[in-house]
DNA sequence: ATGAAAGCGCTAACAT
DNA sequence: ATGTTAGCGCTTTCAT
C-alpha cells in the first residue's frame, strides 16, 4: 500500500499480488492474456485492499467514458423526473453513470450546463425539454451540441426538433388535436386555452393541434382565447382566474400540460366552480398523480419513463448518417374532469 | 490544432496563442502569474478553437474533483425529485456537477451505486432516503462509506441515522406525533395506520411518533392496527381496502407518507367513502401536489428542496471531528382531508 | 502469459 | 511573468 492516506492504486494491487501493473490491469478488465489463476489472485487482492479503479485515469488513458449527461429544465417537475427515472434505469442496466443538470428553462444556463458535460467528456448527452421557438435562443446550444457530435459525442433530444440530432418526439400536435376533438364531441364550443409561454416549442406544437381540431370542426381558431402564464401549477391558477373573469361563458379549459390543469382545478374548486358540470378541464402529459385527482384528470398520456429510456438507447447506438427520430404516441385518457355541456350553462346563458 | 479529429487540447491553445502550456493553464484557471494581456489572448484563442478542458486530466493532475454524487431510492418519486432539485440548484451555484443514481430501495444496488461514485472520485456523496432497520442490510453500505471518508471523501445522509456521517434529519417522530394529536383532537379514537415496510427506518420513526401521541392521550398503541404495504400510491390503495374490510369502524387513517395517503384517498373515493365526513386521512411529507388534491391533504410538511441544499452544504464544509446533524422541523399542515368525527359514524355504530 | 514503457491532457512545483 | 518538467493512475502497444 502506498504511504499516503489515499485509496490504493492499481500499482498497489499489482505489487501485493506480485505481478506487473499491466497484468493487474488485464486481470481487472477481464481481458485475455492472463492465466485464470493469476487473474483470480489479482482480483482477490484488489478486493482485500478495497481497490476501486480511478475513472479519471481510466478515461484519460483509454479515451472512453462511461458517463452520460442528462439536461432537464427542472428535476422537481414530475414530467422531467419521470423521464429521468427511465434514463437512470437503463443507465444502471448498462453500467453507466448519469450526470444530471438543471436549466430552469434559461437558455444561457442550458448552454453552460452543456459545456460542463462536454468538459466531462461524457459519451452521450440527452437533452430533455422543450426548445425555444426563437432560433436565436436555440443557436448557441445548437452550436455547442454540433461541436460535441463532431468530436465524436452522441446527442439525443426529447421533445425538441430544429436540432439536427437523434430525437424522441412526442406527438404533441396529434395529442392536442385528439383531446380537443374529445371536448368538442361533448358539445363544448366556448373553449379557452391555458398555455405556457409561446416561446416554448412544446406550447406552440400543442396549440397547433388545438387549432387544427378547431378548424376541422369548422370553428374559428382565432375565436378561442389563449391565456399565457408560467407552465406550472401556479400559472394554471392564474389562467383559470383570468379565463373566468374575461371569458365567463367558457365551458371548457384546455390546459397545455398537467401542471397547469392541476392549478386550474384547484382555482376552480376555490371559486366554487363545478368540474365538469360547469367547466370541463383537460391536461397533457398524464403525470402519475393525474388519475388520483378528484375529479380524475382527462389528459393525454405521454410515456415519459419510456421516452427517457428510448432517448438513452438512441444515444448509445452507433450514429446513423442522418438524424433518427422516434415518435412516441400521445394517447387520450378520458377521466372525470370532462363532461357534456350541462344544463347549468343553459341557465346561465338565459340569465345573462 | 492536432492532426486527429478529437477536441483541441490545452497544448493546441498554447501553440495557437504562442505561449507555453503552463501559461495557458494559468490563463484558463485565472491564477495570477500571467499578464492580463496574455491571459486575454489565451482565452480568446481557447474560445475560437472551441477548447473545453478535459475534466479527467484535470482531476488526475490536480487531485481535486468538482463532481458530487447523489443517491436516491427513486428519482420519479416527488419526495426524492424535490430533494434532488435542491441539490442540483446549490451544485450549479457552486459550479459543481452532480451524478445521480437510483437504488430502487434495494440495499445491494445501493452498494454498487456507492462503489461507482467512489470510483468516480466524487468529492462528496449525499445519500437520501430511509435506511434499513436491520443492521445487517446497513452494514455493507456503511463500510463502503466509511472507507470513502477515510480516503478523504465527504458524506452526508438525509433521513438516515446509524451511519456515522453528517446528517440532515427530518423530525419524523415529532411530526407524526403532531399529526396524530391533531386527529385525536378532532375526537377520533378508531385510528388505523397505513405504513410502508417496517424495515425502513422512516416508517419505524414515524410509527413511533404515532404511538407516542397515542400513549400520551392514554390510549393503547397496540389497539391501533398498522397495515403494511409498499410505500407508494399503490400500497396506499391496498391499505385503504384492507382497513375498510378488516376494521370497518375506523374513522381516521394515518398514512405514513403522502404517496400512500393519495392512494388511500383514491381508493376511498372509488368505494364511495366520504373524506373527511366518514373517514379522515392524513399524509406525511407535503409533496407539491398535496394542496391541489380534493380534499386538500392534511399532512406534515418537510422542506425537501431545503433538505437537499443543506445536505450538500454540509458535505461541502470542512469535516468536523464528530458527525454533525441538522434537524429540520416537520410542521403540521391542516387542510380538508381531516375533520371531526361525524354524525354518520354514530349512525353506523348504532346500526352495527 | 507476462512485463516494460509510452502516453492520455492536465496541474503544480521548480526553474528562469 | 513565463517556460520546463515531473507526475496523477490508468490502458495499451510492443517486447519477451
DSSP string of A152-182?
T-EEEEES--SSSSEEEEE-HHHHHHHHHHH
- Which residues of chain B carry a pLDDT beneath 50? 1, 3-4, 343, 345-352
B53 touches strand C (CB under 7 A): yes
In chain A, what residues touch B82 (CB-CB under 8 Å)? 76
Do residues A68 and A124 lie in contact, with contact meaning Cβ atoms separated by under 8 Å?
yes
Answer yes or no: do A291 and B262 touch at CB < 8 A: no
Distance from CA of A220 to the nearest CA of B (A): 33
Which helix (H) or strand (E) element contains residue A2? none
A61 touches strand C (CB under 7 A): yes
Q: Which chain B residue lies closest to A109 (C-alpha atoms)? A: B92
A22 touches strand D (CB under 7 A): yes
The integer distance in angstroms from the CA atom of A98 to the C1' atom of D12 is 27
The pLDDT, as a whole number, for residue B348 is 44
The integer distance in angstroms from the CA atom of A1 to the C1' atom of D5 is 27
Domains and CATH numbers, chain B: 10-52 (1.10.260.40), 62-170+304-328 (3.40.50.2300), 172-301+333-350 (3.40.50.2300)
Nucleotide showing the shortest C1' distance to residue A23 CA: C2
Distance from CA of B34 to the nearest CA of A (A): 24
Answer yes or no: do B76 and A52 touch at CB < 8 A: no
Distance separating the N- and C-terminal Cα atoms of chain B:
88
The integer distance in angstroms from the CA atom of B297 to the C1' atom of C4 is 69
Q: Facing residues of A332 across strands?
A: A300
Q: Which residue is nearest to nucleotide D2 (CA to C1')?
A: B23
Answer yes or no: do A266 and B291 touch at CB < 8 A: yes
| Pairing of the two strands A325-328 and A166-170 | parallel
Answer yes or no: do A233 and B78 touch at CB < 8 A: no
Answer yes or no: do A75 and B98 touch at CB < 8 A: no
Distance from CA of A349 to the nearest CA of B (A): 28
- Which residues of chain A carry a pLDDT beneath 50? 1, 3-4, 343, 345-352
The pLDDT, as a whole number, for residue B52 is 86
Closest listed residue to residue A251, CA positions, set A223, A277, A228: A277
In chain B, what residues touch A97 (CB-CB under 8 Å)? 99, 101, 116-117, 120
Q: Which chain B residue lies closest to A261 (C-alpha atoms)? A: B292
B57 touches strand C (CB under 7 A): yes
Closest listed residue to residue B24, CA positions, set B8, B9, B10: B10
Q: Return residues 137-156 of B near A (CB < 8 Å).
A: 147, 150-152
Instruction: Please name the residues in contact with A108: beta carbons below 8 A apart, sequence gap of 6 or more.
Output: none
In chain A, what residues touch B292 (CB-CB under 8 Å)? 233, 262-263, 265-266, 293
- Environment class of residue B153 by beta-carbon count within 10 Å: exposed (0-12), middle (13-18) or buried (19+)? buried
Do residues A285 and A79 lie in contact, with contact meaning Cβ atoms separated by under 8 Å?
yes
Closest listed residue to residue A274, CA positions, set A223, A347, A224, A201: A347
Nucleotide showing the shortest C1' distance to residue A20 CA: C3
Angle (CA) A38 A39 A45, round 5°:
90
The CA-based dihedral angle spanning residues A99, A100, A105, A110, taken in that order and rounded to the nearest 10 degrees: -10
Q: Which chain A residue lies closest to B69 (C-alpha atoms)? A: A99
Closest listed residue to residue B183, CA positions, set B91, B253, B115: B253
| Residue B78 at interface with chain A, using a CB cutoff of 8 Å | yes
Strands of B154-158's sheet, edge to edge?
Answer: A325-328, A166-170, A154-158, A124-128, A67-72, A97-102, B97-102, B67-72, B124-128, B154-158, B166-170, B325-328
In chain B, what residues touch A98 (CB-CB under 8 Å)? 99-101
Rounded CA gap, A244 and A251, in Å? 10
DSSP string of A118-140?
HHTT-SEEEEES--BSSHHHHHH
Q: Return residues 247-276 of A near B (CB < 8 Å).
A: 262-263, 265-266, 269
**Count of CB contacts below 8 A, A vs B?**
163
Q: pLDDT (tens digit, 9 = 90+) per residue, A182-208?
A: 999 999 999 999 999 999 999 999 999
Amino acid at each position: 500500500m502506498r504511504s499516503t492516506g489515499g485509496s490504493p492504486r492499481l500499482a498497489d494491487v499489482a505489487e501485493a499480488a506480485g505481478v506487473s501493473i499491466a497484468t493487474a490491469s488485464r486481470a481487472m478488465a477481464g481481458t485475455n492474456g492472463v492465466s485464470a489463476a493469476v487473474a483470480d489472485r489479482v482480483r482477490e487482492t484488489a478486493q482485500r485492499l478495497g481497490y476501486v479503479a480511478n475513472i479519471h485515469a481510466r478515461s484519460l488513458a483509454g479515451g472512453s467514458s462511461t458517463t452520460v449527461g442528462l439536461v432537464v429544465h427542472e428535476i422537481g417537475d414530475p414530467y422531467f423526473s419521470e423521464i429521468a427515472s427511465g434514463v437512470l434505469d437503463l443507465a444502471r442496466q448498462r453500467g453507466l453513470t448519469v450526470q444530471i443538470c438543471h436549466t430552469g428553462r434559461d437558455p444561457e444556463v442550458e448552454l453552460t450546463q452543456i459545456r460542463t458535460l462536454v468538459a466531462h467528456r461524457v459519451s452521450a448527452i440527452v437533452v430533455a425539454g422543450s426548445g425555444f421557438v426563437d432560433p436565436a435562443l436555440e443557436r448557441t446550444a445548437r452550436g455547442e451540441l454540433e461541436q460535441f457530435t463532431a468530436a465524436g459525442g452522441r446527442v439525443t433530444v426529447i421533445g425538441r426538433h430544429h436540432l439536427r440530432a437523434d430525437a424522441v418526439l412526442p406527438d404533441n400536435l396529434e395529442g392536442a388535436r385528439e383531446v380537443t376533438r374529445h371536448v368538442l364531441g361533448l358539445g363544448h364550443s366556448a373553449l379557452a386555452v391555458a398555455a405556457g409561454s409561446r416561446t416554448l416549442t412544446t406550447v406552440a406544437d400543442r396549440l397547433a393541434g388545438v387549432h387544427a381540431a378547431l378548424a376541422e370542426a369548422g370553428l374559428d381558431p382565432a375565436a378561442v382565447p389563449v391565456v399565457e402564464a408560467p407552465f406550472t401549477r401556479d400559472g394554471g391558477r392564474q389562467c383559470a382566474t383570468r379565463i373566468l373573469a374575461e371569458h365567463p361563458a367558457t365551458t371548457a379549459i384546455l390546459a397545455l400540460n398537467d401542471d397547469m390543469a392541476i392549478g386550474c382545478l384547484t382555482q376552480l374548486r376555490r371559486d366554487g366552480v363545478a368540474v365538469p358540470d360547469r367547466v370541463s378541464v383537460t391536461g397533457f402529459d398524464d403525470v402519475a398523480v393525474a388519475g388520483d385527482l378528484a375529479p380524475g384528470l382527462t389528459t393525454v398520456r405521454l410515456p415519459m419513463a419510456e421516452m427517457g429510456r428510448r432517448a438513452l438507447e438512441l444515444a448509445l447506438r452507433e450514429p446513423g448518417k442522418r438524424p433518427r427520430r422516434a415518435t412516441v404516441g400521445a394517447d387520450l385518457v378520458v377521466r372525470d374532469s370532462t363532461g357534456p355541456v350541462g344544463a347549468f350553462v343553459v341557465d346561465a346563458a338565459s340569465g345573462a
